[in-house]
A and B are shown apart, each in its own frame.
Chain A
Amino acid sequence: MLELKQLTRVYDRDDIAPFMAVDNVDLSIMHGDFVSIIGRSGSGKSTMLNMIVGLLHPTSGKILINGTDLWSMNDKDMAKIRNLKIGYIPQGFSLLSNLTIMDNVRLPFCLAQREGNGIERAMNLLEEMRMQNLAEKYPAQLSGGEMRRVAIARALINNPEILIADEPTGDLDEETTKEVMKLFARVYCKGITILMVTHEYDITSYGNRVCTMSSGKLIENIAAR
């Protein structure tokens, strides 16, 4: 469902030679895959993710979502893909601090301009994660793990085809990491494709495919399948 063909991103630096953050990456993700991309900081994983989600323009190459080239679309169609087909969980703190948890979760629903107000759907998701009592609270009142789970709920509100997570356990302790990954596993069991970027090798065991990114190049670890 997601295919990367010769995806490249080059940064021009004035006095130094241009920097190749992503170097001719090929990757094919099928429905039902749980792909983990592992690499050190600066290996180009977040850059690649930003291009896939449609936030950063590739220098060359293609990103095909269900056969359609993402970057050949206009702004409106790309926004629709980001809203309905992709559930994106950004790195770090990504909730809006002036909205309640309920409003944060249903934000993508409201952006889609669909019928209804999404409250019931958001409540169902929060109940699934046993966080319904936090609905009227604000992000500042939540722990790191709770905020990450809210971000996952927000990514799921529009029933996306693929969940894309950038360092979902990056700043969490061991126990909270396990909690979050169990949640990912539950989501995966429901048939949602997952693409996760991380620098922690331990959590890659939750998925069915592992790729390594180094100096902009992607290599799949066949033995981990």
Chain B
Amino acid sequence: MVVPRGCASSLQNTLLRSESNTFYMNENLTEGLSAIPGVEQVSPQLYIGSLNASCCTVPVQLIGFEPKTDFTIKSWMTNIDSSKLGFGEIVAGSQVNPAFGGKVWFFGQPFKVVATLDDTGMGFDSSVFMTLETAQHMIAISEQTAVHPAGTGKDRLSALFVKLANDSDATKVAKTIMSAYPQTDVVILKEMMQHISTQLNNIKGLIYGIQGLLWIVSVLILAVVFTVTTNERKREFGLFLALGATRKKLESLLMTETLIISISGALIGVIAACFIMFEFRMLIAISLGLPYMQPTIGSTIILSAMSLLISVFTGVIACLYSVIHIGRLETHIMIREYE
């Protein structure tokens, strides 16, 4: 992806973090880039941030693209033919209101929503897509009508997406472009994704570490709680033995109690966690600052089942010491309580 020098991070934030940005190139480098060895196709895009933000108006990213040469955006529009997008028509991201069929107003002009994208977890969710022609027309209108115009002049472009031939070396081509056009920055998709992947792995590692610690602490705390409560109930257990319970019966009684408590607690915890995770999904996405999509129902069920199993297992482990301890206390339990 070729952008004006200094705008590489703006591009990444637009694509990944739903930030709204505006930046332009000073000249059209499409032909020049197409001539570089290793370049298969070049497609221009135009980025316009719709409004400067006061607290409660949410900026929408306007993205103009050339349907004839485009090879990136159309892969997100599987059910519509992006080449048939007309002048004044837009495709809206999943979080942009209103939905399909309605009208959106930008710079005092209405635009018709012909399709809505599904959730992507990326910046596209709060973006609006239109043809390059429509986008450039929007800039022209903004000069006349908006307090803060989107820009001046015609034939504006923000970024050039470059598709490489199969056997090309991305780093080599990037270097060639930057030396030929020093006024540009080049973002290699693979590197961008790697960076995100590293960040995600770091977060994952941190979360697993915290989980592991929490698990150990839980087992210890539960073990202490079970030991204390079992000691308090020595008299009761002694009575069970005196009335004819076998040691095995007593142990299975304790285990059954533990299972009931563990399963009930685990169920309440899992249901509460799923509920809270679902409700606060937006806050999670924004806080992460990374591409985020809500887990599917299937993966949520699998995760919940695993959590349930681990919780029950934790309870059983914690109770094991108490069960063995009580099983060995046989005769002394009653005696100390009654004499």
Contact = CB atoms under 8 A, between A and B. Distances in A.
A147 to B, nearest CB: 13
A79 B339 contact: no
Interface in B248-265: 248-249
A108 B335 contact: no
A8 interface: no
Contact of B334 (A50, A81, A83, A96): A50
B242 A55 contact: yes
Nearest to B245: A111
B339 A46 contact: yes
B242 A56 contact: no
Given A46-B339, A76-B246, A92-B338, A57 B331 contact: yes
Interface in A19-46: 46
Nearest to B238: A55
A139 B248 CA distance: 27
B286 to A, nearest CB: 49
B235 to A, nearest CB: 9
A3 interface: no
Contacts of A83: 243-245
A103 interface: no
B242 A84 contact: no
A202 B217 CA distance: 59
Q: Is the interface of A mostly helix, strand, loop or mixed?
A: helix
Contacts of A112: 244
Tell which of B241, B244, B246, B338 has the most Cβ of chain A within 10 Å: B244
Nearest to A97: B236
A154 B236 CA distance: 15
Contacts, number: 61
A88 B242 contact: yes
Contact of A84 (B244, B246, B247, B248): B244
A14 to B, nearest CB: 17
Contact of B338 (A80, A84, A90, A154): A90
Contacts of A80: 244
Interface residues of B, number: 19
B282 to A, nearest CB: 46
Contacts of B247: 75
A107 B338 contact: no
Contacts of B246: 75-76, 79
Contacts of B330: 55
A96 B245 CA distance: 15
B239 interface: yes
Contacts of A92: 338
A94 B244 contact: no
B240 interface: yes
Contacts of B248: 75-76
B242 A53 contact: yes
Contacts of A166: 338
B328 to A, nearest CB: 12
A111 B249 CA distance: 9
A91 B339 CA distance: 8
A75 to B, nearest CB: 5
A96 B244 contact: no
Interface string A70-90: 000001100111111000101
Contacts of A57: 331
A23 B330 CA distance: 23
Contacts of B243: 82-83, 88, 107-108, 111, 154
B245 A56 contact: no
A79 B248 CA distance: 11
A151 B131 CA distance: 89
Interface in B304-339: 330-331, 334-335, 338-339
Contacts of A96: 236, 239
A56 B301 CA distance: 52
A111 B244 contact: yes
Contact of A55 (B236, B249, B331): B331
A172 B339 CA distance: 17
Considering residues A53, A83, A90, which has the most beta carbons from chain B within 10 angstroms of its beta carbon?
A90
Nearest to B253: A111
A94 B240 CA distance: 10
B146 to A, nearest CB: 74
Contact of B331 (A56, A82, A94): A56
B335 A56 contact: yes
A221 B330 CA distance: 34
A53 B243 CA distance: 10
A84 B243 CA distance: 9
A55 B242 CA distance: 7
8 contacts: A53-B242, A55-B238, A55-B242, A75-B248, A79-B241, A90-B242, A111-B240, A112-B244
> 10 nearest interchain CB pairs?
A83-B244, A79-B246, A82-B244, A108-B243, A91-B338, A55-B334, A111-B244, A56-B331, A79-B244, A111-B245
Interface of B: 236, 238-249, 330-331, 334-335, 338-339
Given A56-B335, A111-B245, 16 more contacts: A50-B331, A50-B335, A55-B238, A75-B247, A76-B246, A76-B248, A81-B244, A82-B241, A82-B242, A83-B245, A88-B242, A88-B243, A90-B334, A90-B338, A96-B236, A108-B243
